[in-house]
Amino acid sequence: ATLTANFSMGLFKLDAKVEVSYLNSSLSVLRHSRYLLEMTGGDRDARNDVLNALNLYPADITGSAKVMFTNFGPAEAAKSLEIIKLLRQAGISAEIYPEASKMKKQMGRADTLGIPFVAIIGETELANGTVTLKDMTSGEQSELSPENLIAKLK
């Protein structure tokens, strides 16, 4: 499929003709993501905004994760990756936001991708050895141990 779009965000303008192959959708998004990163002068937030605004995430890769972990920095990301490994071993699809960013941006990505749960590990959760799980449909939040997180998501 071919998508032609015009996008402008502040001073940033992009005319894009993007071809997305069903069989190579992940590779295609990666290739175009790198191109957009170059076009935005290395601004990852601007690149992600363009991908979101143009809806360039192919349907076969969007919403594939049941839970997305937020990313607030190296310590939180390391703990998230430990728990993601446990979730995947239990057969639960999980991902982490690719870089440290503001909560609103991370929640927006989860919402855009149709990910039903967001797992939050901040300073408090790191200190307590817990995860705050937010249900993106109901808005309910609960603080859980990694073991209870697995049980809740199964």
| pTM, to two decimals | 0.62
Pair 121, 145: CB distance under 8 Å = no
* Block residue for tokens 């965000």: 9
Query: Are residues 29 and 61 in contact, defined by beta-carbon separation less than 8 angstroms?
Result: yes
Q: How many residues does the chain have?
A: 154
At 20-56, the pLDDT tens digits run: 444 444 444 444 555 555 555 555 555 555 556 555 5
User: Which stretch of DSSP H or E encloses residue 13?
Assistant: strand 12-19
Listed as ranges, residues in the chain with pLDDT below 70 are 1-63
The candidate with the shortest Cα–Cα distance to 105, out of 92, 93, 118, 123, is: 118
The per-residue pLDDT for 55 is 58
- Residue with structure tokens 């192959």? 21
